[in-house]
Amino acid sequence: MSEGMTILFAISVMLAAVGGAAVLTWFERRLLGLWQDRYGPNRLGPAGILQVVADMLKLLTKHDWTPPFADRWVFIFAPTAIVVAMLLGFAVVPFGPGLHIIDVNIGLLFFIGMTSLAVYSVLLGGLASNNKYALLGGLRSAAQMVSYEVFMGLSLMGVVMLTGSFSMQDIVEAQRGGWFCVSQFLGLFVFVIAAIAESHRLPFDLPEAEHELTAGFHTEYSGMKFAMFMLGEYLGLILVSCMITTLFFGGWLAPFGMTWLPPIVWFSIKTFLIICFFVLLRAAIPRPRYDQLMSLGWKVMLPLTLLNLVVTGAVALWMQGA
């Protein structure tokens, strides 16, 4: 792609991601309604889709209040960090053959780096609010995200070992012989759980657990700043689903040789199904206790990841020798 085309493509990816995140707020509530045997927002427009517009208008016109006791500039900066980091993460996603914004040889590391920077949003939001609930939420999220980041990165190393590259397009190409969701089953399992914890969605939304912390780190946020946190969370969900598609489900490759649909459509279908799966998890699983979450991480997930690494390494060496 030429430079102008790349910039145009980047802008369209950004708009699609933000628009997707906005529609997802409505779609998630409808899907949750379906699975919980109720309606969800179905009044405005066809199937209730105009609810998105109504919510947006409400958030835009709401009084955007910065509490006088808050650390003003950090308070304002915090919600932007998550949106910027998550949008930057989309830069390395391969949407089709040759259809990407950048294809660097550290693509996967770039994604991990951006998700780890998104943590600051929650942390600084909690710290700057100068509110005990926000502080507790921020503290929890710091511990949760640092722990889950460790094996989120490690769980992907099996994929890197089998591919021999950090480049996202190479990873997709390496799955022509078979998707990594089979050979890297443990990696996929750990990555899905770590991804939910990283994007602090239900069931792992302990930083904002309503029943004990009011609203956690965004207790003091309202109006557009609150909307930014929500936007960042939904962008994170889309980004993580794109990553799972790319790393474990063959990215834009067509399944069973069904190449009559263009690659980008296959990519979208797979990503959409994974998003639905995340919504299903939210509908089905209750929130664990904080200490349960942490001990699950360090006592189950980390050993599983290390086991996966050792076995993958051994198999990769054996295949090389054979």
Partner 1 sequence: MELVLFYISSAVALFATVFALTRSNAAHALIYLIVSLLAVAVIFFLLGAPFAAALEIVIYAGAIMVLFVFVIMMLNLGEEGEERERQRMHPAVWIGPALLSAILLVEMIIVLSKMSDQQTGALITAKQVGISLFGPYVLAVEIASMLLLAGLVGAYHVGRRFRLSEPDDQSAVVSGDDKQGGD
Residue closer to partner 1 by CB (options 126, 187) is: 126
Q: State whether the Cα torsion 212-217-223-227 is positive or negative.
A: negative
- CA gap 208, 297 in Å, rounded: 19
- CA gap 208, 133 in Å, rounded: 9
Is 257:107 a contact under the CB 8 Å cutoff?
Answer: no
Is 93:246 a contact under the CB 8 Å cutoff?
Answer: yes
Answer for which of 119, 190, 197, 231 binds partner 1 (CB under 8 A) is 119
- CA gap 209, 221 in Å, rounded: 15
Scanning 285-301, the segments in alpha helix (DSSP H) are 290-296
Residue closer to partner 1 by CB (options 52, 114) is: 114
Region label for 45, one of left (φ > 0), alpha (ψ between -120 and 50) or beta (otherwise): left
Please tell me what DSSP assigns to residue 6.
H
Window 128 to 157, contacts with partner 1 (CB under 8 A) = 128, 130, 135, 138-139, 142-143, 145-146, 149, 153
Q: Is 112 in the site for partner 1 (CB under 8 A)?
A: yes
Least distance (Å) from partner 1 to the CB of residue 73?
8
Least distance (Å) from partner 1 to the CB of residue 244?
19
Q: Is the peptide bond before 288 cis (omega within 30 degrees of 0)?
A: no
Q: Site mask, partner 1, residues 42-71, x = CB under 8 A? A: -----------------------------x
Answer for which of 23, 49, 117, 215 binds partner 1 (CB under 8 A) is 117
Q: Is 120 in the site for partner 1 (CB under 8 A)?
A: yes
CA distances from 85 to 78, 107, 115, 187 (A): 11, 14, 7, 24
Window 82 to 111, contacts with partner 1 (CB under 8 A) = 104-106, 109-110
- Of the candidates 59, 18, 25, 60, the one whose C-alpha atom is nearest the C-alpha of residue 41 is 25
Least distance (Å) from partner 1 to the CB of residue 189?
22
Q: Which residue has the tokens 């089979």?
A: 182
Q: Is 310 in the site for partner 1 (CB under 8 A)?
A: no
Least distance (Å) from partner 1 to the CB of residue 139?
5
Q: Site mask, partner 1, residues 159-198, x = CB under 8 A? A: -------x--------------------------------
Least distance (Å) from partner 1 to the CB of residue 146?
5
Q: Which residues contact 119 (CB under 8 A, 6 or more apart)?
A: 141, 142, 145, 146, 149
Least distance (Å) from partner 1 to the CB of residue 41?
36
Using CB under 8 A, list all residues that contact partner 1. Answer: 71, 74, 77, 104-106, 109-110, 112-113, 116-117, 119-120, 123-124, 126-128, 130, 135, 138-139, 142-143, 145-146, 149, 153, 166
